[in-house]
């Protein structure tokens, strides 16, 4: 097995996004003026295993519009085809695609693919809800046109500390697990590497390792308690299995992947 970290540009986010407040001002603070972070990567991942290549998330495109709490820096030369080329691949080398969740910086790059894009069925349903459609319009983050989304049911029972899962490879070494919180249907992908480490492609389960260790919910998820319960599960999983934690926007994720640095929770 080999995992490649792709980078499709960068994003700067408001500090009130990275360090969410507890209580009723949690979401409100995203919309008032405030300082922004340094540039954070927008990662996607390719998992090469058993002669197949699975793309996990598709990255952002240059069409992304800034929103009150995120400023994107994505050039056409940062988009998925170029990010794949930097890893020695083309879009035609990809066999399968799965998304951690349906936010623009994870799904917009799907416009470059001619493959069905698998999404947790609960996430797909949420994206079509009235609340979600409202934010897509207000934040001017539409679902990309012309992409064929295919619902993925997490019907494989528990996996490790996670309540619901679905194997994505015949040998069970690539597994989608439920990590709700950031969005209701958010999933993470666990890849058991040749050394037996659980490489946890965490999407936006948190933005950083620091947020995970602090057990801090984020500023956008609809139910903070659900989010915190997921963070506890990830930490519980890491106590039972050597786990390398790889969120999409952590400046240290690429180095942790390269070095195989496990969580000691
Ligand atoms: Zn997100």
Three-class secondary structure assignment of 4-65:
EEEEEEEEEEEHHHHCCCCCCCCCHHHHCCCCECCCEEEEEEEEEECCEEEEECCCCCCCCC
Torsion of CA 129, 133, 134, 135, to 10 degrees: 110
pTM for the model stands at: 0.95
CA of 101 to the centre of ligand 1 (A): 7
Evaluate if residue 265 carries a pLDDT over 60: no
How many A from CA of 102 to the centre of ligand 1?
7
Question: Distance, CA 259 to ligand 1 centroid (Å)?
Answer: 25
pLDDT at residue 157, rounded to an integer? 96
The alpha carbon of 100 and the centre of ligand 1 are apart by a number of angstroms equal to 9
Q: Write down the pLDDT at residue 135.
A: 77
Determine the 3-state secondary structure of 189 from DSSP.
strand
pLDDT of residue 23: 85
Averaged over 79-107, what is the pLDDT?
97
Query: From ligand 1's centre to the CA of 29, what distance in Å?
Result: 17
Is the per-residue pLDDT at 16 higher than 90?
A: no
First to last CA, the chain: 25
pLDDT the model gives residue 264: 77
Q: Give the chain's mean pLDDT.
A: 94
């Amino acid at each position: 097995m080999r995992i490649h970290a792709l980078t499709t540009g960068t994003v700067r986010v408001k500090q009130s996004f990275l360090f969410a407040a507890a209580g009723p001002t949690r979401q409100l603070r995203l919309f008032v003026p405030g300082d922004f972070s340094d540039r954070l990567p927008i990662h996607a991942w390719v998992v090469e295993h058993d002669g197949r290549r699975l793309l996990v998330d598709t990255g952002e495109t240059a069409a992304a519009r800034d929103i009150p709490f995120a400023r994107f820096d994505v050039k056409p030369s940062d988009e998925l085809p170029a990010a794949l080329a930097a890893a020695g691949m083309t879009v035609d080398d990809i066999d399968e695609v799965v998304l951690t969740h349906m936010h623009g910086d994870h799904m917009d790059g799907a416009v470059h693919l001619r493959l069905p894009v698998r999404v947790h069925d609960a996430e797909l349903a949420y994206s079509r809800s009235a609340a979600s459609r409202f934010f897509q319009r207000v934040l001017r983050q539409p679902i990309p046109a012309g992409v064929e989304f295919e619902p993925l049911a997490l019907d494989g029972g528990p996996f490790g500390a996670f309540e619901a899962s679905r194997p994505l490879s015949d040998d069970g070494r690539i597994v989608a697990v439920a990590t709700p919180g950031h969005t209701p249907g958010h999933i993470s992908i666990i890849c058991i590497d040749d050394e037996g480490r659980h490489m946890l492609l965490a999407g936006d389960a948190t933005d950083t390792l620091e947020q995970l260790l602090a057990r801090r919910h984020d500023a956008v998820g609809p139910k903070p308690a659900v989010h915190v319960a997921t963070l506890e599960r990830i930490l519980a999983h890491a106590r039972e299995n050597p786990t390398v934690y790889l969120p999409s926007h952590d400046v240290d994720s690429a180095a942790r992947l390269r070095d195989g640095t496990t969580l000691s929770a």
